[in-house]
Amino acid sequence: MEETETNSMKERKPKNIFVQGPIAASFIADSIQKHSSKTDIGGHSIFLGQVRADKIEGKEVASIEYTAYEDMALEKMYTIREDIFAKYDLTCMHVYHSLGKVAAGEISLFVFTSSAHRKAAIDACEETVERLKAELPVWGKELLTDETYHWKENRP
C-alpha cells in the first residue's frame, strides 16, 4: 500500500518551472529545435515575457528581482496545466519563469504550447499566460536606476 501511494505522489509531482536569472535565447532555440522530431505537431505558439525599462515617477527600471512562494506556485502551475490540457487539444506545453534578477531587455517568462493545429496552440498559450499572471504567487521587485525599488503590479 505504501509503495502505491508513493508512486502516485511521484506521478503528480509538479514540474519545476523556475530558472535562476534570465531565460537564455539559446535555451529557447534548443526547446524549439527539440520539437522538430515530433511530426504530429502542426502548430506552436510561443510567448516571451521581456523586462521593460518602464519609467516610474521619472526613474527607469533597470531590472526586476523575481521571488515566489515556490511550492504553492508549482501546485498552481500543475492545476493550470491540467485545466489547459483538458480544454485544448495540445501535444505539449512548456513553461519557464525566472527567479532572481533579470535586467531590462532580458526574457523572464517563456510559454511554449504545441498542437496538431495552430488555433489550439495559440489559444492555449494566451490563456496560460493570462492565468500565470493572475494566479501564480510570483512577485517582481522593480529595481530602479537610482537604486530604489517599486513592487511590480501585473496589468491585464
CA dist 75 and 151 (Å) reads 24
- In this predicted structure, what is the pLDDT of residue 156? 59
- In this predicted structure, what is the pLDDT of residue 6? 38
For residue 40, give the DSSP letter: T
- Give the model's confidence band at 5: pLDDT under 50 very low, under 70 low, under 90 confident, else very high: very low
Q: Judge contact between 145 and 103, C-beta under 8 A.
A: no
Q: Which helix (H) or strand (E) holds 112?
A: strand 107-115
- The hierarchical CATH code for the domain 15-151 is 3.90.1170.40
Average pLDDT, the chain: 90
In this model, does residue 3 exceed pLDDT 60? no
Task: Give the mean model confidence (pLDDT) for residues 116-131.
Answer: 97
Task: Give the mean model confidence (pLDDT) for residues 90-105.
Answer: 97
- In this predicted structure, what is the pLDDT of residue 108? 98
State pLDDT tens for residues 13-72: 678 999 999 999 999 999 999 998 888 999 999 999 999 999 988 999 999 999 999 999
Cβ contacts of 154 within 8 Å, gap of 6 or more: 133, 134
Task: Give the mean model confidence (pLDDT) for residues 136-147.
Answer: 95
